[in-house]
Amino acid sequence: MPRAFTPKVVTANALLEGDVVYLTADDTWTRHLHEAELLTDEAHAQVRLVDASARVDEVVGVYLADMKPTDHGPEPTHFREDFRRTGPSNRNHGKQAEVA
């Protein structure tokens, strides 16, 4: 049996600000993970990745990050993505500060 596909989001860093962004279903970049499009189909995810990677004047380092679906949108499965959507743990900077 083929391994089940882990859902993903397309993520990158914004070219000008350098901060973490996620691709939404309507092809915009959002700073908030819960607004990201959760990709549950592998082939579709690859297409979204290729399209997003072509947007070189908006973002840098596009990749697919593993997520799990929850009631409040995609949630990271790995601590690295958790830090990326939050900010550093030693200072209240980055996304956690923007939310507050």
Partner 1 sequence: MYRYNDFDAAFVAERNRQFRAQVERRIDGSLTEDEFKPLRLMNGLYLQLHAYMLRVAVPYGTLNSAQMRQLAYIAERWDKGYGHFTTRQNIQYNWPKLRDIPDILDALAEVEMHALQTSGNTIRNVTADHFAGAAKDEIADPRPVAELLRQWSTDHPEFQFLPRKFKIAVTGSPNDRAVTAAHDIGIRIVERDGEIGYQVLVGGGLGRTPMIGKVINDFVSQEDLLPYVEAIVSVWNLLGRRDNKYKARIKITVHEHGIDEIRAMVDERYGELRSAFTGVDQQLFGAIKEAFAPPKFADKPLDAYQQAYDSDPVFRAWADANLWDHVAPGYAIAQISLKAHGATPGDASAEQMRVMADLAEQYGHDELRVSHEQNIVLPHVHKADLPAIHATLKQHGLATSNIGKISDIIACPGMDYCALATARSIPIAQEIATRFDELKIENEIGDLKVKISGCINACGHHHVGHIGILGLDRAGVENYQITLGGDHTEKTSLGERTGPGFGAEEIVPAIETVVQAYLDNRESADEAFIDTYRRVGMAPFKEALYGEQTSKRSRAA
Nearer of residues 34 and 78 to partner 1, judged by Cβ:
78
Which residues have C-beta within 8 Å of that of residue 46, sequence separation ≥ 6? none
What would the two tokens of residue 24 be? Answer: 């939404």
3-state secondary structure (DSSP) of residue 43: helix
Q: How far is Cα 61 from Cα 20, in angstroms, rounded to an integer?
A: 10
- Between 44 and 93, name the residue whose CB sits nearer to partner 1: 93
Minimum CB distance to partner 1, residue 61 (Å):
7
| Minimum distance of partner 1 from residue 40's CB (angstroms) | 20
Q: Note the residues at the interface with partner 1 (CB under 8 A).
A: 13, 15-20, 56-57, 60-61, 77-80, 83-84, 87-91, 93-95
In the complex with partner 1, the residue whose CB is nearer, 43 or 79, is 79
Q: Please name every residue paired with 23 in a beta bridge, in sequence order, or none if there are none.
A: 29
Which tokens is 26 given? Answer: 């309507």
